[in-house]
Structure 1
């Protein structure tokens, strides 16, 4: 599924949020790898579950053909600085929902990129009869949890000791959902 491109200016940074294109595959591969190394808020260590250019091209092609998926990128200074993806499915019992995930390069935190990717995804979900959006967030990512709550998500559960981080400790994953 595709959406209209939107421009944003936040704290003097101009960026756009748009649907992903096949030409973005290599950039996405690089950005995803970098994002994984800049935070422990995601599921992967750097290099784990690596998706190369060809892999992203397949995902982009599948998402473009699906009315249940939305893949967005944030572009600033002529390069991809963030991305989000909503992934649904065609199973009758769960076709009304999609799972949201997001990643933004650390140098671009504080410009509302994650928030605007989320808002565009919510708008898409509402316009396309996706009744429920779900996501998972690490319990220590308080800023993200607050943003999700402001956008109508509620805590639906906790996966206890779900993540083992570099500090040698286990952390909970918070399951959140938004019914629209």
Structure 2
């Protein structure tokens, strides 16, 4: 699925949100690896479940062809600095919804990149007829939780003691959903 590219200038940073292209595969592999090492807000630690550039190329191709998938990138300073993905299910009982995920390089936090990726994804889902978007977020990521609530996501549940972080403590995962307006 495709969306129109759109450029932004927020807090002095110019960036573009656009659909991923096959030639982005190598950069996406590097960016995901970097993001995984910069924050504990995501599921993976740096290097875990590493996706090779060839894997990203196949993912980009599949997401472009599937009506219920969308892979976006944020590009600034001639490099990819973030991405988001909506992934639908081939199962008929789950075909009405997509799972949303997002990641932004830490040096680019505070410029609205995550919010723009989210807004584009929500608009795409609504236009495509997707009835529900879901996501999971660690309980300590209050900025993300607040952002999701602002665009209509609600807390649907809590997965208790779901993530073990490097501090040796377990944390809850918040399950959120947004229904098409």
Question: What's 2:9 paired with?
Answer: 9
How far is 1:90 from its partner?
2.4
Question: What's 1:66 paired with?
Answer: 66
SS class of match (2:93): coil
How far is 1:93 from its partner?
1.1
What aligned pairs does 1:39-78 form with structure 2 within 5 A after superposition? 39-78=39-78
Measured on the aligned residues, the alpha-carbon RMSD in Å equals 0.4
Aligned residue pair count: 180
Q: For 1:105 and 1:132, how far apart are their aligned partners in 2?
A: 27
Q: For 2:90 and 2:50, how far apart are their aligned partners in 1?
A: 26
- TM-score normalised over the length of structure 2: 0.99
Structure 1 residue runs of 5 or longer lacking an equivalent are none
Q: For 2:51 and 2:92, how far apart are their aligned partners in 1?
A: 29
Question: What's 1:104 paired with?
Answer: 104
Question: Which consecutive segments of 4 or more residues in structure 1 shift more than 2 A?
Answer: none
Q: For 2:108 and 2:7, how far apart are their aligned partners in 1?
A: 15
- TM-score normalised over the length of structure 1: 0.99
Question: What's 1:146 paired with?
Answer: 146
What aligned pairs does 1:97-176 form with structure 2 within 5 A after superposition? 97-176=97-176
Q: For 1:127 and 1:91, how far apart are their aligned partners in 2?
A: 21
Q: For 2:49 and 2:95, how far apart are their aligned partners in 1?
A: 26
Q: For 1:147 and 1:74, how far apart are their aligned partners in 2?
A: 18
How far is 1:89 from its partner?
1.5
Question: What's 1:26 paired with?
Answer: 26
SS class of match (1:55): helix
Structure 2 residue runs of 5 or longer lacking an equivalent are none
